[in-house]
Amino acid sequence: MAEIFHHTKPEAVRNLTVTQITTSSVSLSWTEPEGNSSFYRVQWTDGQLKETVNVTETHVDITNLTAGVQYEISVTAVAGDGLTEGQSTTVTQYTKPEAVRNLTVTQITTSSVSLSWTEPEGNSSFYRVQWTDGHLKETVNVTETHVDITNLTAGVQYEISVTAVAGDGFTEGQSTTVTQYTSK
């Protein structure tokens, strides 16, 4: 009589955590599940394309992603037969948006500075504009690629930065900064 091996379903992985985010990658780690498993099937999708990789370690770097895009990533423990899967553990994460391009001062008065820029490569939801005279810091969020900063003091140097923000409202790209004096 042939012996038949029944592989029990692995448990779900524990403590699935995003450890690093860049504009083109997401790194994850997790704790191995209770009981036996042979490897982990990692799947990710942007809602259209789905990719899969199998790893034996309890961490993975997912690369070649698009900036500012939301990815759903699942990790599933697989038994020694390569077929019997446990329950998936899923996390959702945006990649960082790219930096805005061509940040330019378009107008200066005694009390205002106007700026414009080109939207970054990839996706982003809005722009966080921050300015400071070295003491007070102000912030405004805009969806357009231009802003008029008003109520400034004449003849003062302002440092102004523009940062693209992803659709979750808090994953930020690298800031682009310009320094400008208001007119006297």
Our count of domains for the chain comes to 2
Residue 111 in domain? yes
Question: Is residue 86 a part of any domain in this protein?
Answer: yes
Same domain, 88 and 50: yes
pLDDT over 80 at 2, yes or no: no
**Is residue 33 domain-shared with residue 67, that is, in the same domain?**
yes
> What's the confidence (pLDDT) of residue 113?
98
Answer yes or no: is 2 within a domain: no
Domain end marker among 74, 94, 114: 94
Question: Residue 158 — very low, low, confident or very high, per pLDDT cuts 50/70/90?
Answer: very high
Q: Rounded to whole angstroms, how far apart are CA atoms 171 and 94? A: 7
Helix (H), strand (E) at residue 116: strand 113-118
- pLDDT above 80: residue 5: no
Domain that holds residue 63: 14-94
| Strand residue runs (E) in 32-112 | 39-45, 50-55, 59-62, 70-78, 89-94, 101-108
Phi then psi for 175, rounded to 5 degrees?
A: -75, 150
Distance between CA 67 and CA 171 in Å, rounded?
11
CA distance 42 to 71: 12
Q: Which of 94, 122, 151 is the C-terminal boundary of a domain?
A: 94
Percent of the chain with pLDDT over 70: 97
Residue 5 within a domain: no
Is residue 3 pLDDT above 80, yes or no? no
Model confidence pLDDT, tens digit, residues 122-150: 999 999 999 999 999 999 999 999 999 99
- At which of 94, 127, 149 does a domain end? 94
Q: Is 169 left (phi over 0), alpha (psi -120 to 50) or beta?
A: left
pLDDT on residue 61: 98
Q: What is the mean pLDDT of residues 91-111?
A: 98
CATH number for 112: 2.60.40.10
Question: Measuring CA to CA, which residue among 63, 118, 117 is closest to residue 95?
Answer: 63
- Average pLDDT of the chain is 95
Instruction: Tell me the percentage of the chain whose pLDDT exceeds 90.
Output: 91
